[in-house]
Structure 1
Amino acid sequence: MDLITLGVQLLNAVQYGAVLFLVASGLTLVFGILGVINLAHGAFYMLGAYLAYWITLMTGSFVVALLGGVLVAFIAGILLETVFVRLLYGRDHLAQVLLSFGLILVIDEIRQLLFGKDVHAVAPPAWLSGSIQLTDNLSYPVYRLAICVFCLMAALVIFFVIARTKIGMIVRAGSENREMARVLGIKFDRVNRYVFAAGIALAALGGILIAPISTVFPGMGDGMLILSFVVVVLGGIGSVAGAAVGALLIGLTDTFGKVFFPSVSSILIYVVMAAVLLWRPSGILGRQDA
C-alpha cells in the first residue's frame, strides 16, 4: 500500500470515527448522566437520515435539512423526556429496556407510514459535491472531508460546553456523584431534559451527516446502535472524551481491518473491545474503582 492510499484509508477511518463519536457521545451522556439505557438511540440516528431526505426534498437545501433535522430531534427529545423518560429515573434497567424498545417500534411504524420501505438517496450540497484529485486514478470526495471538519468543530463545542459552562459543571457533578450534587442544592429536572434532548439531537445529527454518503433505508440505525454501545463501553460510561477515543479506535480498527484482514474484519472490533476491557474494565477513560 502506497502512502496516498494509506492516507485515504486514514481519512476514511477518521470520518467514520467522527460520525460514530457524535452518535456515541449522545448515548454516553444519556447512559452515564441519566442512568437510562436508551435502545431507541439508533432509531433516532435513522430518523435523522430520513429527515435529511425529506427536508432536502421539500426545500432543496441540505443546510436547511441539517438545521431543521437537529431542531426536530431536539424538540422530540424534550417531549419524550417530559412525558416518558423521567418516569424511568431510578427504575430498574428492565423498565428502561422495555420503554426504549417500544419507542423503536413506534418510530419504525411512523417511518413506514411516512416514507414506506423504499431506499432513498440524499444529495450533498452542490458546493461540497466535488472531489479532490489525488492521482490519475484516485480522488477523494470533498463532502467526506467536510464531515471530518464539521465533526471536529462539533466535538470542540461539546467539550467546551461540558468543561467551561455552568450546565457542563452541573452535568459533570451529576456524573460524579448525583446524590451529593442534590444535597448541595442542584436541581436536575431541567438538566435531565436538556441532556436527553441533546443526546437525541446528536444521534439525529450523525444520521443527517451520513445520509449523503450512504443510502437511507429502514433499520439503518441498528448497526450504529451496537457500535455506539461498543464505543461507550470502550471509552468509559459517561465520559465524552472516552467516547472520542473509543470512536477513533473503532474507526481505525474497522477501516484498516477491512483492508488488511478482510476475512476476520467483522469480529476485530469486538476483539479490540475485549482486549481493552481486560486491560481497563471501566473503559479507557472510565473511572476506576478503588
Structure 2
Amino acid sequence: MQLVLFQLVNSLSFGMLLFLLSAGFSLIFGVAKVANLAHGAFYVISAYLGLSITQLSGNFWLGVIGATAVGAALGVLLDRFLLSRLHGQELRQVLLTLGLAFVLSDSIRFIWGSGVRSVSPPAPFDGPVSIGGLFFPSYPFVVIVLGALVFGVMRFVLRRTLAGARIRAVTADPQMSSTLGLSVRGISALTFAAGIGLAAFAGAVGSPQLALTPNLDSSLTLFALIVVVIGGLGSIEGAFLASLLVGIVNGFGAVYFPALAQITIFALMILVIAVRPQGLLGRRTGNA
C-alpha cells in the first residue's frame, strides 16, 4: 500500500508538471495559432538556467523566478523577431520552432555539457513527511500545490477578468476581435510570452523531480501534444484533467508494466480520440 501511495504522489506531481507545460502550449496554439515544437526545449533550458541561478545565489526560489522571467523574455523575442514574420504560414512556423528546439538543445550541451544533472529540493522540502504513519518525499506535494494554484489562477483570469475575455475573444474569432478594436497582435504576443513563461516555470520547479538531460525536450514536447489532444485544444480544464490522467497512467505503467509504459499512454490517447475526437473537454468545430 505504501508503494501504491508513493507512486500515486509521484504520478500526480508529474501530472502537474505536464499541466504547466501543456497549458502554455495550448494557450499559445489557441491564441497565436502556433504549434510551438520548441516548447519542451524552453522547459529544459529554463531548468538549467534555474540551476545556474540557484548555484550562484544559493536560493532555489530565486532561481525559479529568474528562470521564469528569462523564459518569458525569450518568448517575447521569439515572437517579435521570428514568428511575427511568419504569421499565417503554419508549415514554416512548425519548421522554425523545430529548428529552434535543436538549437536550444545544442546550446544546452555547449554551456552545461551533455551529462545528467540533478537538483536537490530546497529546504525545508528536502526531507520526508509523515502522513498517517507513512513517509513520503515532501517536494512532490509542493509541485502538486503549485500546479493546482496555477490552474486556479489561470481559470480565474480566463473566466472572470477583462483580460481573459479578450483572450477568449481573440481565440474564438481574431477577425471580429480586430474589428471591435482589440489588438490581436499584442494579445497574441503577450499570450505567447505567458505560455513560454509557464514552460519555464515548470522547468525550474520540476528540476528536483526530473533529472536534467539536453535531450529531455523531445519527450516533454510529445507529452504536451498528447495532453492537449486528450484534454481538448483550448481547454485549460481539459489540459488539467488530461495531465493528471497521463501522469497516473505513465507513473503506474512505468512501475507495473515497464515494457508497455509508452504504449499505455498512446492507447489512452487513441481511446479518447475514438470516443470524443474533440478531446475530453474540447468543443466540436465545423458542422459536426
1:267 matched to which residue of 2? 263
1:190-235 Cα shifts (integer Å, max 9, x gaps)? 1111111111111111111121123221111111100100001111
Q: Does 1:181 align with 2:177?
A: yes
Alignment of 1:87-98 (within 5 A): 87-91=85-89, 93-98=90-95
- Give the Å deviation of 1:134: 5.3
Which runs of 5 or more structure 1 residues have no equivalent in the other structure? none
- Give the Å deviation of 1:251: 1.1
Counterpart contact for 2:32–2:189, Cα < 8 Å: no
Normalising by structure 2, report the TM-score.
Answer: 0.94
1:112-163 Cα shifts (integer Å, max 9, x gaps)? 3321223222222121111024588x63111111111111111111111111
> Which range is displaced more, 20-29 or 50-59?
50-59
Which runs of 5 or more structure 2 residues have no equivalent in the other structure? none
> Which range is displaced more, 96-105 or 22-31?
96-105
Q: Which runs of 4+ in 1 moved over 4 A?
A: none
Q: Does 1:112 align with 2:109?
A: yes
One-letter amino acid of the structure 2 residue matched with residue 108 of structure 1: S
User: Residue 257 of structure 1: which of 230, 253, 256 is its match?
Assistant: 253
Distance 1:127 1:106, change over 3 A: same
2:232 matched to which residue of 1? 236
Q: Does 1:48 align with 2:33?
A: no
Aligned length: 286
Identical amino acids, percent of aligned pairs: 36
Q: Distance in 2 between matches of 1:134 and 1:187?
A: 50
Q: Secondary structure at the match of 1:212?
A: coil
Q: What RMSD over aligned residues (CA atoms) do the two structures have, in Å?
A: 1.7
- Give the Å deviation of 1:61: 0.6
- Give the Å deviation of 1:42: 0.7
Q: Does 1:247 align with 2:248?
A: no
Counterpart contact for 1:53–1:120, Cα < 8 Å: no
Q: Distance in 2 between matches of 1:225 and 1:106?
A: 15
User: Residue 76 of structure 2: which of 59, 70, 78 is its match?
Assistant: 78
Q: Distance in 1 between matches of 2:174 and 2:13?
A: 35
One-letter amino acid of the structure 1 residue matched with residue 111 of structure 2: L
> Which range is displaced more, 116-125 or 62-71?
116-125
- Give the Å deviation of 1:15: 0.9
- Give the Å deviation of 1:76: 1.1
Normalising by structure 1, report the TM-score.
Answer: 0.93
Q: Secondary structure at the match of 1:216?
A: coil
Counterpart contact for 1:36–1:88, Cα < 8 Å: no
1:165 matched to which residue of 2? 161
1:26 matched to which residue of 2? 24
Counterpart contact for 1:132–1:139, Cα < 8 Å: yes
Counterpart contact for 2:71–2:200, Cα < 8 Å: yes
Q: Distance in 2 between matches of 1:135 and 1:258?
A: 26
Q: Distance in 1 between matches of 2:244 and 2:191?
A: 23
One-letter amino acid of the structure 1 residue matched with residue 269 of structure 2: M
